[in-house]
Amino acid sequence: MRIVLIGAPGAGKGTYAQIIRDKYCIPHISTGDILREEIAKGSELGLKVKSYVERGLLVPDEIVIEVVKRRLEQPDAANGFVLDGFPRTLEQAKALDRMTRVDAVIHLVISEEVAVKRLSGRRICPVCNRVYNIYYEPKPREDEKCDYDGAQLVRRPDDEPDVVRNRYKVFYETFAPIIDYYKKTGRLIEVDSNRSVREVYPALEETLRRDGILKLKPCREES
């Protein structure tokens, strides 16, 4: 299963990608996570992209395309993946089709109002990258601590309200051509993501099964 999750900031791309990863044991590939890791390491790539990510601007296509190409060449991606945050431009969408087969592109549709509230409550584990929210499920069981490794949860610097507003603007500037591109090739699935995770995830999974895209069996018991 090779699927892509797209949607505005806060739409839940990372949330559903993690659920699918944990349930079906296929890698969750997030360009945002990869870029933030490189920034944290202070690598050459991290230094190049830091100012774009911190301001909520898109990193240049040639850099992100190379990052994804290298990641998809890793053996764990050979039998499927959930791609989160890529493509964000038509150029990236075309490059992705040159790299691999994409079975479905799920557009998580969300209103700006709902997304802004979610991002203000988002907390992230710096060790395992799991995402929580202090207002909504999934909430951490213990205040501000990761359920899995106990690490102190952190906020993303680009979840500051001004940066969030800029990310919205940037997202909508490049969004329409991507949607048209995937509609024309019959791969676009739209899911209303304004609802709770408990409502959205089953709807998403049901759509993928109905369309014959999800044929995998869970690799572990649901918790």
Q: Which residues are annotated as a binding site for ATP?
A: 10-15, 122, 131-132, 195
Determine the 3-state secondary structure of 182 from DSSP. helix
Q: Which of 21, 22, 48, 52 binds ligand AP5 (CB under 6 A)?
A: 52
Least CB distance from residue 123 to ligand AP5, whole Å? 7
Per-residue contact string for residues 105-134; x = within reach of ligand AP5 by CB under 6 A = -------------xx-xx--------xxx-
Contact 118, 10 (CB under 8 A): yes
Distance CA 160, CA 4 (A): 26
Please, which contacts does 180-187 make with residues 24 or more away whose CB atoms are closer than 8 Å?
Answer: 181/90, 181/93, 181/94, 182/93, 182/105, 187/102, 187/103, 187/104, 187/105
- Which is catalytic among the residues 48, 69, 94, 156? 156
| Whether 123 is catalytic | no
Angle of helix 90-99 relative to helix 161-184, nearest 10 degrees, comes to: 60
| Whether 13 is catalytic | yes
| Whether 122 is catalytic | yes
Size of the site for ligand AP5 (CB under 6 A): 36
What's at 179, amino acid-wise?
A: I
Determine the 3-state secondary structure of 170 from DSSP. helix
Contact 56, 166 (CB under 8 A): yes
Q: Which residue is nearest to ligand AP5 (CB)?
A: 32
Least CB distance from residue 212 to ligand AP5, whole Å? 25
Q: Does 64 bind ligand AP5 (CB under 6 A)?
A: yes
Number of Cβ within 10 Å of residue 150's Cβ equals 10
Q: Does 23 bind ligand AP5 (CB under 6 A)?
A: no
Q: Does 45 bind ligand AP5 (CB under 6 A)?
A: no
| Whether 167 is catalytic | yes
> Annotated active-site positions, please?
13, 88, 122, 156, 167
Which positions lie near ligand AP5, rule CB under 6 A? 7, 9-15, 31-32, 35, 52-53, 56-59, 64, 85-86, 88, 92, 118-119, 121-122, 131-133, 136, 138, 158, 167, 196-197, 200
